[in-house]
A and B are shown apart, each in its own frame.
Chain A
Amino acid sequence: MQEMIKSKLAELLSTGAVTKVIGWKRGENFYDVSPAAFESVESLADFVYDDFCGANLSKFLVKEPGKESKVAVVLKPCDTFSLNQLIKENRVNRENIFVLGVPCEGKLSEEKMRVMGIVGLTGCKVEGDKVTVETLYGTETLDKNDVLLTKCATCHSKKHVIFDELIGETGEDSDVDRFVGVAELEAMSEDERYEFWRNELSRCIRCNACRNACPACTCEKCVFDNDASGVAAKSNANSFEENMFHIIRAYHVAGRCTDCGECSRVCPQHIPLHLLNRKFIKDINTFYGDFQAGADAESEHPLVHFTENDPEPSIVKEGK
């Protein structure tokens, strides 16, 4: 698979069809896979596509629109939803992007291994639904499901919704119920839910990884970085600020979040940010009919598009 992708990318670079490739690069060890730019066929020697290519590369295209050159990007199925959404919002220039779709069977998380107490990671082999991990302290065999990235464990689709060429086959929408976690939160009392989020958000170090990795967060100047906004902040001074950053962000991406799961993947404190966004997704589905952001690059955004069938705000408020 990796070699097929590489040879396609080499062809694109050598024919001059693109001048840059955005892909993944092998680093120090098995899980050390960085998003990277490749500008020559030789540089592709380090290109990798494996079980640790979790990063969503569509975010890196946001840097490119002012530039005239063509760039190729390697996207997994979930990542293609993000690109569509960026196209819809005019944040990228579709004409300059060559999308190479690649299949995905779920990516792994070395952080989950660490939380399970498996540390000193030195090697890893995936065979079917088992993962064998070599460590400085011995060998462990794990169920793949237990070390999938959270976003992959509840993957909503293995279908590429936009591509110029595919390596391998595209898949189908998945029938995994991704709203189980939201339903658990809904079942809590208001106080319990407040406590749940306070505990989670109390760990936030305001590192901005969630915001900066998010393909829906593409404002040129975030309100939290803008001195003129009155809410600019580099740190959370108190619990109010901890909450506000996340509430504002969740509202701002509501209806635009494709559920790519990057926020939760990158959070160093394992805060389940995707649950906030999924609550909005679930509510939008309930109130306005099933809607998947990024499924196409044209459809109307349900929260900014009025139809006569829209529910009345009072009904929404009561949660009906």
Chain B
Amino acid sequence: MKLVKDLSALYEAIAAVQELYLPVENKGRVDFKLYEAGANVDIKTLKTVRSAKDFFFTQTETLMGFKVEGKNIEVEDLRPEVRPFVAFGVRGCDARSFEVLDKVFLVDPVDTVYEARRKAGTVVTLACGRPEETCFCTNFGITPEAPAGDVTTWLTEEGLYWQANTDKGEALTAAIAAVFTEGDGKAVEEQKKAISDIIAKLPLANLDMTHLEGVKEETFWGHPVWKDISETCLACGTCTYVCPTCQCYDVRDFDCGNGIERFRCWDSCMYSDFTRMAHGNNRNTQDQRCRQRYLHKLVYFPRRNEGMFGCVGCGRCVAKCPSKLNIVKVIKALGGK
């Protein structure tokens, strides 16, 4: 099995052939950043604050511009140029979130900006050496001990074990062939076993979700949990901005003085103007907004996508909501617990 002993050499080798993004620590917080020599790479911290969705669905991006002269409107293509890149150190939950996003952005009409990034990106996942109590990915069939991706890696005492899974993964492996040695792979098997043992102890690893199977859109509309959580939901949007599967965006025009730039940016269903239309808004209270966030993930999305949930169990909302409200509480409450 392929093994890399010197991680810096690996980063340098990848960065020499493509743009490399990987988890970098800054004042105790870790987020994906473009690699540069001397970067404070941190692949031990389990979860980045921001999810990996930024690789494909960025927080803000300019889509097009308009120049108006007399009676003429000139439309400019301002979509960003996308170069091939490697996303290194992605966890299994975030890797699955790309499949969730694909269901939205790659169906007709295809989102060309997203598609370009998806094609350009090679995803190198990293097995979760130390799952945390907030993790509940296993409820969604995710395997943190061997996460899916173009390449899967395991960080062991010996070094980083490397396994290419797709053509893109093979191509990257071939391009950096000089950094690899061979290992016997025993440490990988041991790690997989150790991870499974921890998973068995995770408090949220086995949620009862049977009550969500095949339900109608309106099944939970009148449920008391919406009022309960909305009482102390601050409507901040943290849950939606750290969530790897939250996919809603707003499109606006910015007047640059000499023209208009049309951009999009993440939106949050927790905000009062979310989906506001000319006639007003169809959700006017925070309990309706909370209901939208959770039922979108747990009912509406799976109904349209062969049962695939719009949550990957990354636990970011569990760890980050300032009022400690989260999807696990909602899943349990909807099940009567």
A181 at the interface (CB under 8 A from B): no
* 10 closest residue pairs by CB, A with B: A266-B322, A235-B265, A212-B236, A35-B232, A37-B231, A212-B234, A207-B238, A115-B28, A34-B324, A209-B236
Q: Contact residues of B with A, CB < 8 Å?
A: 26-29, 31, 46, 49-50, 59-60, 130-133, 198, 201-204, 228, 231-232, 234-238, 241-242, 250, 263, 265-268, 271-273, 318-320, 322-325, 328-329
Q: Looking at chain B's contact residues, is the secondary structure mostly helix, strand, loop, or mixed?
A: loop
Task: Report 25 cross-chain contacts, Cβ distance below 8 Å, ordered by A residue.
Answer: A22-B232, A27-B324, A34-B323, A36-B228, A55-B322, A59-B234, A119-B132, A120-B198, A121-B132, A122-B203, A136-B130, A137-B130, A203-B29, A205-B50, A205-B59, A207-B236, A207-B238, A208-B236, A209-B322, A211-B236, A233-B265, A235-B59, A237-B263, A266-B238, A268-B320
A280 at the interface (CB under 8 A from B): no
**Residues of chain B lying within 8 A (CB to CB) of residue A114:** 319
- B27 partner, pick from A55, A137, A199, beta carbons under 8 A: A199
**Residues of chain A lying within 8 A (CB to CB) of residue B46:** 119
B242 touches A207 (CB 8 A): yes
A234 at the interface (CB under 8 A from B): yes
B226 CB to nearest chain A CB (Å): 13
A34 touches B325 (CB 8 A): yes
A203 CB to nearest chain B CB (Å): 6
Bound together, the chains give a CA A121 to CA B50 distance in angstroms of 21
Residues 223-249 of A, flagged 1 when their CB comes within 8 A of B and 0 if not, give: 001010000011111000000000000
Question: Which residue from chain A places its CB closest to the CB of B265 in the assembled complex?
Answer: A235
**Residues of chain B lying within 8 A (CB to CB) of residue A136:** 130-133, 198, 201-202
**Residues of chain B lying within 8 A (CB to CB) of residue A200:** 27
**Residues of chain A lying within 8 A (CB to CB) of residue B238:** 207-209, 266, 268
A269 at the interface (CB under 8 A from B): yes
B236 touches A269 (CB 8 A): no
A212 touches B235 (CB 8 A): yes
**Residues of chain A lying within 8 A (CB to CB) of residue B267:** 234
B289 CB to nearest chain A CB (Å): 13
B29 touches A269 (CB 8 A): yes
Question: Which residue from chain B places its CB closest to the CB of A208 in the assembled complex?
Answer: B236
Bound together, the chains give a CA A37 to CA B238 distance in angstroms of 21
A33 touches B324 (CB 8 A): yes
**Residues of chain A lying within 8 A (CB to CB) of residue B323:** 34-35, 55
Question: Which residue from chain B places its CB closest to the CB of A52 in the assembled complex?
Answer: B324
**Residues of chain A lying within 8 A (CB to CB) of residue B203:** 28-29, 122
